[in-house]
Homo-oligomer: A and B are copies of this chain.
Amino acid sequence: MRRADIAAPRPYIPSMSRAAPYNRETAIDAALALFWRRGYHATSLKDLEGALSMKPGSIYAAFNSKEALFREALQLYRNRSEKNVRARAKSAASPLEALAEHARRTGRPKSGSPAGCILVKTVLELADEPSQAGEDARTYLREMQDLFFALFEQARASGELPTGADSRRLARRFQSNMFGLAVETLRGSPAEDLAALADDMAEEVLRLRQRQ
């Protein structure tokens, strides 16, 4: 909002010399961690200043708006998730084994990451307000489901699943199970209960195999 009156020049009061230029990837990473824990609305610019070690002018110069930064954080999360799923698919003995392993890992959160899934949190937090970020989160969840679908299709193609199996329905159910796990981690389920839940879900996937 441009000032209507002509203000006196404001004295600049440097505290220290100017900060080193920010690293974009590092900044987005820090923003992701913060938004993931606090959610969108409960994270203020002041919080972001601290996490990114950037002042408001710099944050807005680099990212344009709080929501734009949030969207970049969501995208980083989505890209990492996809990378993880693809890497797992590559190293697993079979598509169903990859899905089972994904379930087990989801039920054993790493101590270094915030709990749950930021896409799930965002979809719930922004469900009632039209926003680009909310739209992004829904899109990314659909894309994650597509990854699961592709794995179930591979399992069909390879004979691991019967040709009559409904890959879309299986993918939908599998993702819903992952949503359940995400909520469980945030409601504070004991680690062993969470792991047991995840193992049950993994077992369910493996039980889909055709007997050979």
Contacts and interface: CB of A to CB of B under 8 A. Distances in A.
A38 B124 CA distance: 9
Contacts of A114: 128
B125 A125 contact: yes
A127 interface: yes
A176 B181 contact: yes
Nearest to A142: B187
Interface of A is mostly: helix
- Most B C-beta atoms less than 10 A away, residue of A115, A127, A178, A193: A127
A187 B141 contact: yes
Given A39-B41, A41-B42, A123 B187 contact: yes
Given A129-B38, A169-B196, A123 B183 contact: yes
A183 B187 CA distance: 14
Interface of A: 37-39, 41-42, 114-116, 120-121, 123-125, 127-129, 138, 141, 169, 172-173, 176-184, 186-189, 193, 196-197, 200
8 contacts: A41-B41, A41-B42, A42-B128, A125-B125, A169-B196, A173-B200, A179-B180, A180-B183
